[in-house]
């Protein structure tokens, strides 16, 4: 368990810049999720931390130890890092027990430690004698995690560890993995392109864009107060409306709305107002403070529904409401809509 500190990390492949002076600090014992679209450099970042790639510039510290820097490249096997690769491949010819114990070959308490790890990732003890092909995808992922945690690494790196699992299994394995990481007290960096995964697992989430971290915050702040409109759309669905801000409020087609505390609350003049679809509520048509809107279409998701709406006096605006109740309106119906809670404004 150790703090991870990355400064000015730069990596090019064949002249093309992938990481561009990236800075990142992960406090000891924390799980940080790095979120970014496919191809943005997530695997590259983990491979640089693990030592499988060499940086072109910048430094990486694990605890007090400099493991990468100008003229210095500590070998991967000496960095004491547990790495769960994007394809978390187990050794197919070794049993589960032998896979988990692979990095513990010289330890006298190996069998006891393997037993502890099997329990930590929530599998029955008799799985130790099975082979990987006798396990489901989710069970294999848990074994791969147990193997990464076995030598009590200072740092654990996880590369999209759940992307191969179906939705139901994914949530169960996420919970087990998050619990196992906390129990091990490990400092961990997980990368993913899945927003829900980032929000539900990370103590903090850092968004990687164009080779740098563009926002690093706790999940709630990142979702409620994204730093710019592009981020707002990347971490969730966003309704963006033109408006005018003054004295901590923004006037737009849906009313004069209070701004969330923070730098954005000081916005003045022309702005883009960001509202989350679940903030838009249906009211009775004509209710005080509401605006009339016509239902364009409805997408039903089971636990909720997304309703696209059009305002008669501003038909060009794209407004989506996420509704949780049982009463979902029909296309063509006229409803009243109002915004609940605070909104964010970006200088236009
Ligand atoms: N060894 C390499 N040689 C040349 N280019 C590479 C190499 N490894 C990665 N790249 C390029 O660097 C960029 C970042 O790749 P990387 O694998 O880090 O992305 P990623 O964010 O992990 O994507 P995904 O979500 O699809 O796994 C891509 O454009 C990729 O083609
Ligand atoms: Mg990748």
In a domain? residue 186: yes
pLDDT of residue 295: 96
Q: Could you tell me if 260 and 151 lie in one domain?
A: no
Distance, in Å, from the CA atom of 129 to the CA atom of 94, rounded to the nearest integer, reads 9
The residue to which tokens 């849906």 are assigned: 254
Same domain for 280 and 327, yes or no, is: yes
Taking residue 292's Cβ as centre, other Cβ atoms within 10 Å add up to: 16
Q: Are 340 and 281 in contact (CB under 8 A)?
A: yes
Report pLDDT for 222: 96
- Averaged pLDDT, 298-312: 93
What pLDDT is stored for residue 88 in this prediction? 65
Shared-domain flag, residues 48 and 96:
yes
Looking up tokens 């927003």 gives 195
170 & 59 share domain: yes
Q: Is residue 216 domain-shared with residue 257, that is, in the same domain?
A: no
Residue that terminates a domain, selected from 200, 224, 248: 224
Condensed to tens digits (0 to 9), the pLDDT of residues 78-100 reads: 999 999 887 767 999 999 999 99
Pair (338, 278) in one structural domain: yes
Question: Could you tell me whether strands 280-283 and 334-339 are parallel, antiparallel, or unpaired per DSSP bridges?
Answer: antiparallel
Mean pLDDT of 243-254: 94
Same domain, 216 and 263: no
CA dihedral 28→141→13→194, nearest 10 degrees, is -80
pLDDT surpasses 70 at 264: no
Ligand 1 atom with the smallest distance to the CA of 36 is: 21
Is the pLDDT reported for residue 331 higher than 90? yes
pLDDT in tens, 111-169: 999 999 898 888 999 999 999 999 988 889 889 989 988 888 999 999 998 877 777 77
| Distance from Cα 52 to the centre of ligand 1, integer Å | 13
Does residue 232 sit within a domain? no
And the tokens for 133?
A: 């092909």
> pLDDT, tens digit, for every residue of 193-235?
999 999 999 999 999 999 999 999 999 999 999 999 999 999 9
For 9-42, how does the pLDDT look when each residue is reduced to its tens digit (9 = 90+)?
999 999 999 999 999 999 999 999 999 999 999 9
Q: Which two tokens stand for residue 140?
A: 């294999």
**Residue 90 shares a structural domain with residue 158:** yes
Q: What is the mean pLDDT of the chain?
A: 92
CATH at 107: 3.40.50.300
Q: Does residue 230 fall inside a structural domain?
A: no
**Structural domain total, the chain:** 2
Instruction: State the helix-helix crossing angle for 167-184 and 110-120, rounded to 10 degrees.
Output: 130
- What's the gap in Å between 210 CA and the centre of ligand 2? 15
Cβ(250) – ligand 1 distance below 6 Å: no
Q: Give the C-alpha distances (Å, rounded to integers) separating 34 from 102, 181, 202, 203.
A: 28, 16, 9, 11
Closest-lying ligand to the alpha carbon of 34? 1
Residue nearest to atom 8 of ligand 1 (CA): 44
Q: Is 229 a domain residue?
A: no
Q: Do 32 and 67 share a domain, yes or no?
A: yes
Evaluate if residue 1 carries a pLDDT over 90.
no
CA of 294 to the centre of ligand 1 (A): 45
Domain CATH number, residue 309: 2.40.50.140
- Give domain status of residue 270, yes or no: yes
Nearest ligand to the C-alpha atom of residue 15: 1
Q: Which atom of ligand 1 is nearest to the CA of 53?
A: 1
Q: Are residues 282 and 199 in the same domain?
A: no
Distance 39 CA to ligand 1 centre (A): 5
CA of 50 relative to ligand 2 center, distance in Å: 14
| 210/241 same-domain check | no
The domain of 341 spans 237-347
Q: With 90 as the cut, is the pLDDT of residue 178 above it?
A: no
């Amino acid at each position: 368990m150790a703090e991870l500190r990355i400064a000015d990390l730069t990596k090019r492949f064949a002249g093309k810049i992938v990481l561009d002076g990236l800075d990142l600090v992960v406090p000891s014992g924390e799980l940080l999720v790095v979120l970014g679209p496919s191809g943005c450099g997530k695997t590259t970042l983990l491979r640089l931390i693990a030592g499988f790639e060499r940086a072109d510039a910048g430094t990486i510290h694990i605890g007090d130890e400099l493991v990468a820097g100008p003229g210095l490249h500590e070998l991967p096997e000496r960095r004491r890092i547990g790495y769960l690769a994007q394809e978390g491949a187990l050794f197919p010819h070794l049993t589960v027990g032998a896979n988990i114990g692979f990095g513990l070959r010289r330890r006298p308490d190996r069998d006891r430690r393997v037993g502890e790890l099997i329990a930590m990732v929530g599998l029955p003890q008799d799985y130790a004698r099975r082979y990987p092909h006798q396990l489901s995808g989710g069970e294999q992922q848990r074994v791969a995690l147990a193997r990464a945690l076995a030598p009590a690494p200072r740092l654990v790196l996880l590369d999209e560890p759940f992307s191969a699992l179906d939705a139901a299994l994914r949530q169960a394995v996420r919970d087990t993995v998050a619990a196992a990481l906390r129990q091990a007290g490990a400092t961990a960096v997980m990368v993913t392109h899945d927003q829900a995964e980032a929000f539900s697992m990370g103590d903090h989430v850092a968004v990687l864009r164009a080779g740098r971290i563009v926002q690093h915050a706790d999940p709630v702040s990142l979702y409620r107060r994204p730093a710019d409109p592009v981020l707002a759309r990347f971490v969730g669905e966003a309704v963006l409306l033109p408006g005018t801000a003054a004295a901590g409020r923004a006037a737009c087609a849906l009313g004069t709305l209070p701004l969330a505390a923070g730098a954005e609350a000081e916005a003045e003049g022309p702005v883009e107002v960001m509202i989350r679809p679940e903030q838009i509520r249906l009211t009775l048509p004509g209710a005080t403070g509401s605006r009339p809107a016509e239902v364009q279409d409805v997408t039903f998701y089971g636990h909720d529904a997304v309703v696209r709406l059009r305002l008669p006096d501003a038909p060009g605006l794209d407004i989506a409401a996420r509704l949780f109740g049982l009463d979902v309106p029909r296309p063509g119906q006229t409803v009243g809509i109002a915004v609940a809670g605070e909104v964010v404004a970006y200088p236009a």
